[in-house]
Structure formats: C-alpha cells, structure tokens
Amino acid sequence: MKISYECGACFLRQAREAMDLATDDEDLKIEINNEIFKFLATTFKKGTNSNKTGSYIHNLVKNRTNCPDPYINEKKLGNEIALKYLPLAKNILKENDTLENRVKIAIVGNILDFGAFELGDDIEKFIKDALGKDLAVKDIKPFENSLQKYDKLLYLVDNTGEIVFDKLLLSKIKEYDIDITIAVKSKPILNDACMEDAINTGLDKFGEIVEIGAGTVGYVDSEISEEFREIFNQHKFIISKGMGNYEGLTEIDLSNKDVYFLLCAKCTTIAKEELTYTTCYFLKNSDNMNIAFIGFGKVAYTLSRLIKSPDINFLTSTEKRSNDTIDLINKSNIEVYDSFREALENAEIIISAVTPSKAVKVADMYGPYCNGIYLDLNNISPDKRLAMLLIILLMVRLLEKSIQKILPCFCPVRMHINYYF
C-alpha cells in the first residue's frame, strides 16, 4: 500500500512508542527523532511504500537503542489478553459453530495490535465490543469454495495474542483435509509473532512453521528470503492476517492466487481503501470480480458456462425461483446464496435479465443493494444479450485495472445501463 498523508503522524507515534519501550535516555530519543525527521523529509512522498517506511523506522530505533525487541513485554501481554478471552470465543462457537464465526473470531484477534493502538487504550473493552459486530466485507462463500478446492494453504500470521485466536480457525481448516504452512517473522518487529511465539502457543500442531526471512512491518516482497519466496510461489491459496500483510501483499501481483485478507481496519487509510469505516472487520478475497444474476435463463446459464476465469465469480439465489430455474442453476458453475440481497451485496456487477414487464419492478427492488454496476438487459434477443455481455465484461475488467492504478481510493458509482435494440 502507498502512504497517505495520515501515515506521517502514525509513523511518528509508533516511533515514540518504540523508543519509550526501548530506552529511558531522553537525549538519545531526541537524536533518533532527528534521524527519523531527516529520513521522512526525503522519503515521505506520494508513491512511497508504507511497509518499507515503517520497517526502516522501527529497525532504526532498535539499532540505535541496542534493544532488539522493544515490544517483548507487550507481546507477552497480548498473549495473556488473548488467553483471557479465549473461553469467551469458545462459548460463542458453542452457540453457533460456523465457518463465519471462526473467521470472525480470528479477525477479532487482530485487534491485539499495539502498533495500531496507544498503549493506554482500553483494549479489553474494545475486544468485548468488537465481538458483537458483523463483518463489513464478507467473502465467506468464495472462502469456503477455496477450502474445498485446494489441498494446501499458506497462512501468514500477524501478532502475538492474535495467534491464540488463529488456532480456532486453523482447527476448522484442518477439517477440510488441507496441509497448512504457517509463516512467521524471522526477527522481532512490533508485536509480530516469531518462531518461538508460534511454537509456545501451539501453532505447530496445525502445520509446519516457516520464517519469511525478514523482520519487517507486514510483508515486504523485496525483503523476504529466497527460501520463503519459493514457498510463497508454490501456494495458490493464501490467508493473510493483519493490516501489515494486507498493505504489503496488495503491492504485488496476486492474479494467479486466491488470497483472503482477514483483518480489522484500524486506520482511516485502510478503511477508506475498503470503502467502509474504521475498526471494521473484513474477510476479503484478493482480486476476484463477483457478478450476480437476477433471473437465470439462457443468457445467465450460457455466460456462466462459457467464462471459466479464476478472476470471476458468478452469484445468484434460488429465492422464490421455479424448479426449472433451480435445476438450471444447479447445472451451472455458480455460487448460490440464500437470498438475492446477500448475493447482490457481494457483487461488483449485477445483471438483470428478466422480462421487460418485470424490469422496472426488479430494478426498484434490488437496485439499492448495488455496490457497482447494474446492467438491465431486456427487450433484446438472448444471442444479442450474450454478445453484449461478453464485450461489457472485457471492458469492465480493463477499466477496473486502470482505475486501480489511477485512483488510490475507488468509490463505486451505482450505474444503471440499459440497452435497447
């Protein structure tokens, strides 16, 4: 992720916090501050990588104070907090042990991030409040499909404390008969988990633990070891925990992988990027386009059969559908939701292919759930609709890639496109 103007204050806050943990020498702190100011004066500009910048500052503090692990006590505290709330998490699962709840609890664990919060914050209260919230971005269906599709997974952990809650999700993933590789930092930075932390909390019971070959804030592609790069390249299915890994992985090409980001957005820069709000949770697939159908006849069936791209998911619902339509849906390569609202809210593109007499009523009913483009294709023959859809999809995919490069924060516009022939 590239820095925003708000990152400057966060870098300085983290630097102050790390210095306070590492040394009591006030004169040395002033010297380090001056070095940080000089560094930011030359590097803090549009296009700068946030993870590299944060990593440099934290390593500067460690080197100048001769303190290799300023957050060692905070890491222990994080584990203590997580263990304290683990029974509460398990009780939630007793009431409703779903994959979504396991994911949610793993994301709640991401709150235990002292790099994103002040040391004096009431973290315990925050966790209690957070457990009652919903996922703001919820790619649960694609996530479950990936669990059923792949036989191995790379799991990038984030913080100590958080890894205690990760065990609940990892145990669920093991039920899908998946070989799990768990990646940790090679050197201490912030309160991120290292090999010793992972073993002490029992993560080795769920899979092989490997080091990424670096001690960086999140994932920095240029800093990982060649050994870990080989492991990374061998895995098509990846779970990424935390903001730091999200910031780093979104800088590289993930088009040939299914990557799921599990985190709590704790700063407005991340929140704005996800078009949501601060301190929200989300389970987000890396780069897939979701296209939802309202009405499932020849056009929808043919399109879902013809296009078999790993970058495109087709969605629909069997809600109030006829038996013939349900049979057609079951023959298709398509994800089925319990309700149209749920399917549409998870889609970037909505395609309405109903009869002309129903088009306006359907648009009024489902248009409010549109988060991107609403295509109303009626009054045209099925063959022409299919040709038009293929052209539109290619254009949208190209536009999507261009928009991501041009705009740091893309806010979707509800577009209603009507074609008449």
Backbone angles phi, psi at 386, to 5 degrees: -65, -45
For residue 405, is pLDDT > 70? no
Of 262, 285, 308, the residue that ends a domain is: 285
Q: Residue 1 falls within a domain, yes or no?
A: no
Contacts (Cβ under 8 Å, ≥6 apart) of 360: none
Task: Give the position of tokens 């002309």.
Answer: 356
pLDDT of residue 152: 97
Distance (Å, whole) CA 205 – CA 208: 8
Q: Residue 333 falls within a domain, yes or no?
A: yes
Residues 279 and 346 in one domain: no
For residue 340, is pLDDT > 90? no
For residue 281, is pLDDT > 70? no
Listed ranges 210-224, 239-253, 295-309, 356-370; the one with the highest mean pLDDT: 210-224
pLDDT of residue 276: 38
Under the banding of pLDDT at 50, 70 and 90, the label for residue 199 is: very high
Residues 278 and 365 in one domain: no
CATH of the domain at 257: 3.40.50.10880
Under the banding of pLDDT at 50, 70 and 90, the label for residue 378 is: low
Residues 217 and 355 in one domain: no
For residue 186, is pLDDT > 80? yes
For residue 28, is pLDDT > 80? yes
Residues 305 and 275 in one domain: no
Q: Determine what percent of the chain is predicted with pLDDT higher than 70.
A: 76
Query: pLDDT digit string (tens) for 31-79?
Result: 999 999 999 999 999 889 899 999 999 999 999 999 999 999 988 888 8
CB 350 within 8 A of CB 365: no
Contacts (Cβ under 8 Å, ≥6 apart) of 342: 317
Distance (Å, whole) CA 378 – CA 21: 65
Would you call 116 helix, strand, or coil by DSSP? coil
Q: Residue 71 falls within a domain, yes or no?
A: no
Backbone angles phi, psi at 258, to 5 degrees: -100, 105
For residue 167, is pLDDT > 80? yes
DSSP string, 210-248: EE-S---SS--TTTS-HHHHHHHHH-SEEEEEHHHHHHH
Amino acid at 201: T
pLDDT of residue 32: 97
pLDDT of residue 296: 81
DSSP string, 33-50: HHHHHHHHHHH-STT-BH
For residue 224, is pLDDT > 50? yes
pLDDT of residue 322: 84
Mean pLDDT for 109-127 is 57
Under the banding of pLDDT at 50, 70 and 90, the label for residue 307 is: low
For residue 180, is pLDDT > 70? yes
Distance from the first to the final alpha carbon of the chain: 44
Mean pLDDT for 210-225 is 95
Residues 317 and 219 in one domain: no
Query: pLDDT digit string (tens) for 140-165?
Result: 888 888 999 999 999 999 999 899 99
Would you call 107 helix, strand, or coil by DSSP? helix
Residues 133 and 175 in one domain: yes
Q: What are the structure tokens assigned to 345, written together?
A: 């809210």
Q: Residue 186 falls within a domain, yes or no?
A: yes
For residue 402, is pLDDT > 80? no
For residue 191, is pLDDT > 80? yes
Residues 385 and 320 in one domain: yes
DSSP summary character for residue 110: G
Q: Residue 76 falls within a domain, yes or no?
A: no
For residue 130, is pLDDT > 70? no
pLDDT of residue 29: 97
pTM for this entry: 0.68
Q: What are the structure tokens assigned to 237, written together?
A: 């299915």
CATH of the domain at 352: 3.40.50.720
Distance (Å, whole) CA 341 – CA 346: 9
Contacts (Cβ under 8 Å, ≥6 apart) of 91: none
Q: Centre a 10 Å sphere on the Cβ of residue 233 and count the other Cβ atoms it contains.
A: 10
Mean pLDDT for 2-25 is 92
Residues 123 and 271 in one domain: yes
Report residue 89 CA to chain centroid gap. 21
Distance (Å, whole) CA 159 – CA 263: 11
CB 169 within 8 A of CB 103: yes
Q: Residue 73 falls within a domain, yes or no?
A: no
Q: Residue 98 falls within a domain, yes or no?
A: yes
Under the banding of pLDDT at 50, 70 and 90, the label for residue 352 is: confident
**Residue 32 CB burial class (10 angstroms; 0-12, 13-18, ≥19):** buried
Q: State which residues form the domain around 223.
A: 83-285
Residues 171 and 90 in one domain: yes
Work out how many domains the chain is built from and give that number.
3
pLDDT of residue 82: 81
Task: Compute the residue count for the chain.
Answer: 421
pLDDT of residue 404: 38
Residues 331 and 408 in one domain: yes
Q: Which residue has the higher pLDDT, 14 or 267?
A: 14
Under the banding of pLDDT at 50, 70 and 90, the label for residue 337 is: confident
Mean pLDDT for 232-259 is 91
pLDDT of residue 141: 82
Under the banding of pLDDT at 50, 70 and 90, the label for residue 388 is: low
Q: Select from 163, 234, 151 the least CA-distant residue to 193.
A: 163
For residue 137, is pLDDT > 80? no
Residues 208 and 93 in one domain: yes
Beta-strand relationship, 280-285 and 258-265: antiparallel
Mean pLDDT for 113-139 is 59
Distance (Å, whole) CA 405 – CA 40: 24
Question: Mean pLDDT across the chain, nearest whole number?
Answer: 80
Residues 127 and 233 in one domain: yes
